């Protein structure tokens, strides 16, 4: 089998794959990314639909692992109609707050925002 596969062919195949992959990273893509958010001590996960160049998305997938700290004062919210003592965060205000932290990609939408406990002011 070894005499049928040329080492030059394998090297050229690998080189062409690497060049194709680099070229594909310059395209614009849209994907879902789970982001950990901390709002005044209450941590939860939301699904963000993000859009950007492949290179930016690739690097963002690595750096979006940290929890974002967003103060409640930067968000619009309303009391939860289902649970007393909980609030529902406005998706648009959360999307804007997340977008500020990730300026190299566009946050298109935010989904699955759970109701959180209303922080007690001391």
Cβ atoms 42, 117 nearer than 8 A? yes
Residue 28 has pLDDT above 70, yes or no: yes
Report the pLDDT averaged over residues 98-104. Answer: 86
Mean pLDDT for the chain? 86
Q: What is the mean pLDDT of residues 37-42?
A: 88
The pTM of the full predicted model, rounded to 2 decimals, is 0.75
Cα–Cα distance for residue pair 22/24, rounded to 1 Å: 5
What does the pLDDT read at residue 20?
A: 92
Checking if the pLDDT of 104 tops 70, the result is yes
pLDDT (0 to 100) of residue 91: 93
Closest by CA to 63, choosing from 113, 105, 25, is 105
Average pLDDT over residues 19-28: 89
Instruction: Quote the pLDDT of residue 122.
Output: 47
* CB-count exposure of residue 41 (10 Å: 0-12, 13-18, 19+): exposed
């Amino acid at each position: 089998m070894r005499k049928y596969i040329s080492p030059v062919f394998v090297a050229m195949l690998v080189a062409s794959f690497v060049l194709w992959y680099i070229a594909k990273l310059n395209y614009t893509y849209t994907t879902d990314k789970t982001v950990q958010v901390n709002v005044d001590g209450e941590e939860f996960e939301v699904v963000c639909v993000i859009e950007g160049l492949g290179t930016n998305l690739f690097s963002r997938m690595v750096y979006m692992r940290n929890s974002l700290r967003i103060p409640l004062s930067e968000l619009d919210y309303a009391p939860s109609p289902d649970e007393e003592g909980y609030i529902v965060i406005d998706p648009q205000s959360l999307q804007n707050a997340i977008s500020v932290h990730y300026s190299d990609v566009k946050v298109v939408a935010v989904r699955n925002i759970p109701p959180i406990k209303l922080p007690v002011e001391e």
